């Protein structure tokens, strides 16, 4: 039984999908005005880990992830400027060019991190601009049902009309406060500070907005929160089983998604809400002003395998803050290399009955940890035990081959991508083994150096010589 922490009830629940054998999963994707930073990447690795656990649990997962390419203002509320417009000015490109550039970069990051692409939208990410008609339809429903009102600048959702607005946070509407800064632009005609924009008109501060569409109420563009409800309705149908995202989405974005879906479609949005905690860098919040704003490109430029970053994320529970440091990443890369060396044992002619028996029990504990609210630190501890037992008990090629693929299906660390050495290298190892049997140490050492120059380290064990990539 998979168990998950549900933000909606503030407790760990047994996971029970609405339909046997099928899970509808929606995860919040990037706003594509800049490169994804490593805090964003942690969220997407969490989403991927959740999906892998569900798939390994025997479920057919229909997964949709949105891409925000319009409407996300520099505040999570309705203040500030559109992030795509800001990115276009910075990069001296059109908003459409900016969106496509960072979508391409995002997809490249996901590939390098072994994040499975969404499969519930024809194998594509769901771009907000591809669902404008659906968003307009939802605004129409909310106006028709009396949950929305129009001002000169926007159409707003009236939060006071929904009795349980804010249930995801556990706060009543009267308890919510909005901090107003000097530079914030506030529509004086909003009925309540928590009312949120469904549709901005091309007027006032948005008179020159580059992206706009015709609607029954006037030319404009959708507010940020609207897209997810419309996309879910169009692709998965509500209620879905699981909605996931970062903890920063709980108070505003996900709260507003719930409100507009329940009011517009007369149904709940999701049965389970999962949220990952923040990533901090060197024990402080990530920010460009602190020069600790890092992307996957920054990681690679220091010669780190992107999957070392994925492993670093997995070493912390998704509901706990994770601390990035270069030292922590170095340690994760060392662990990853050890995992690869263990996985490479599958290509070598080794056997150990005691290891196979030992692995069966350890793998059972590994799976149990993954199914217990994605307890990846515990699962990695069991996996590390399996790796260490290969040294203690003697490796078993067939056991490692079987369990390497199974473990990788949960962790996505590239264990399944390992390849055997080539025939020439195998022949050199065989020649070295023969030289050792004849006690021809000079030739043995020469062959060892030759293999080392090809990136293979040879260790002599009770089971014979074992190679390891360096």
Residue 188, pLDDT > 90, answer no
Beta strands in 236-370 (DSSP E): 240-246, 270-276, 279-281, 322-324
Structural domain 3-276, CATH architecture: 3-Layer(aba) Sandwich (3.40)
The confidence score (pLDDT) of residue 180 equals: 42
The pLDDT confidence band at residue 102, using thresholds 50, 70 and 90, is very high
The pLDDT confidence band at residue 183, using thresholds 50, 70 and 90, is very low
The confidence score (pLDDT) of residue 434 equals: 95
User: In this structure, what are the phi and psi dihedrals at residue 201, rounded to the nearest 5 degrees?
Assistant: -85, 155
User: Rounded mean pLDDT of the chain?
Assistant: 93
Residues whose CB falls within 8 Å of the CB of residue 183, separated by 6 or more in sequence, listed in order: none
Q: Does CATH place domain 288-417 in 1.20.58.220?
A: no
What does the pLDDT average to over 168-195? 70
The confidence score (pLDDT) of residue 276 equals: 97
Q: Which residues pair with 148 in a beta bridge?
A: 157
Report d(CA 277, CA 308) in Å as an integer: 19
% residues pLDDT > 90 (the chain): 84
Residue 207, pLDDT > 50, answer yes
Report d(CA 425, CA 366) in Å as an integer: 34
Residue 389, pLDDT > 70, answer yes
Residue 89, pLDDT > 90, answer yes
The CA angle 277-289-196, to the nearest 5 degrees, is: 55
Quick: pLDDT tens for 391-412. Answer: 888 888 999 999 999 999 999 9
Q: Which residue in the block uniquely carries the two structure tokens 């529509």?
A: 187
Environment class of residue 429 by beta-carbon count within 10 Å: exposed (0-12), middle (13-18) or buried (19+)? buried
The confidence score (pLDDT) of residue 174 equals: 61
DSSP single-letter state for residue 116? P
What does the pLDDT average to over 353-368? 92
The pLDDT confidence band at residue 124, using thresholds 50, 70 and 90, is very high
What does the pLDDT average to over 140-166? 96
Quick: pLDDT tens for 25-69. Answer: 999 999 999 999 999 999 999 999 999 999 999 999 999 999 999
The confidence score (pLDDT) of residue 120 equals: 93
What does the pLDDT average to over 347-366? 90
For the chain, first and last CA: distance in Å?
40
Residue 435, pLDDT > 70, answer yes
Report d(CA 118, CA 81) in Å as an integer: 29
The pLDDT confidence band at residue 237, using thresholds 50, 70 and 90, is very high
The pLDDT confidence band at residue 357, using thresholds 50, 70 and 90, is confident
Q: 3-state SS of 46-86?
A: HHHHHHHHHHHCCCEEEEEEEEECCCCECCCCCCCCEHHHH
The confidence score (pLDDT) of residue 176 equals: 58
Are 93 and 54 in contact by the 8 Å Cβ rule? The answer is: no
Residue 186, pLDDT > 50, answer yes
Residue 181, pLDDT > 50, answer no
Report d(CA 417, CA 52) in Å as an integer: 17
The confidence score (pLDDT) of residue 350 equals: 85
């Amino acid at each position: 039984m998979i168990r998950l922490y549900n933000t909606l009830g503030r407790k760990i629940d047994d996971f029970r999908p609405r339909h046997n054998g099928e899970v509808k999963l929606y995860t919040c994707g990037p706003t594509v005005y800049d490169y994804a930073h490593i805090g964003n990447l942690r969220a997407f690795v969490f989403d991927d880990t959740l999906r892998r656990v569900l798939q390994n649990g025997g479920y057919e997962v229909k997964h949709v992830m949105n891409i925000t390419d319009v409407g996300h203002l520099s505040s999570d509320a309705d203040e500030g400027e559109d992030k795509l417009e800001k990115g276009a000015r910075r990069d001296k490109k059109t908003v459409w060019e900016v969106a496509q550039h960072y979508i391409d970069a995002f997809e490249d990051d996901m590939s390098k991190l072994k994040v499975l692409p969404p499969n519930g939208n024809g194998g594509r990410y769901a771009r907000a601009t591809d669902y404008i008609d659906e968003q307009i339809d939802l605004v129409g429903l909310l106006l028709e049902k009396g949950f929305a009102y129009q001002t000169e600048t926007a159409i707003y959702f009236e939060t006071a009309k929904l009795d349980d607005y804010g249930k995801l946070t556990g706060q009543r509407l009267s308890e919510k406060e909005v901090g107003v800064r000097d530079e914030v632009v506030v529509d004086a005609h909003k009925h309540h500070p928590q009312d949120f924009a469904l549709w901005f008109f091309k007027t006032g501060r948005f008179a020159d907005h580059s992206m706009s569409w015709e609607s029954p109420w006037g030319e404009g563009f959708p507010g940020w929160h609207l897209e997810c409800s419309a996309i879910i309705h169009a692709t998965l149908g509500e209620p879905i089983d699981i909605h996931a995202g970062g903890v920063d989405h709980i108070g505003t974005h996900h709260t507003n998604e719930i409100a507009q879906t329940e009011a517009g479609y007369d149904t709940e949005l999701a049965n389970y809400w999962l949220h990952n905690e923040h990533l901090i860098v060197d024990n402080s919040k990530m920010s460009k002003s602190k020069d600790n704003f890092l992307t996957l490109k920054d990681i690679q430029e220091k010669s780190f395998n992107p999957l070392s970053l994925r492993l670093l994320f997995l070493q912390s529970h998704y509901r706990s803050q994770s601390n990035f440091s270069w030292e922590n990443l170095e340690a994760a890369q060392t662990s990853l290399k050890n995992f690869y060396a263990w996985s490479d044992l599958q290509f070598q002619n080794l056997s150990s009955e005691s290891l196979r028996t030992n692995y069966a029990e350890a793998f059972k504990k590994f799976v149990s940890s993954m199914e217990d609210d994605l307890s990846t630190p515990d699962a990695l501890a069991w996996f590390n035990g399996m790796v260490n037992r290969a040294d203690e008990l003697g490796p078993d090629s067939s056991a490692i081959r079987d369990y390497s693929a199974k473990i990788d299906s949960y962790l996505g660390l590239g264990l399944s991508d390992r390849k055997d050495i080539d025939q020439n290298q195998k022949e050199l190892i065989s020649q070295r083994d023969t030289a050792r049997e004849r006690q021809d140490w000079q030739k043995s050492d020469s062959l060892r150096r030759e293999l080392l120059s090809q990136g293979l380290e040879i260790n002599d064990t009770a089971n014979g010589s074992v190679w390891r990539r360096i």
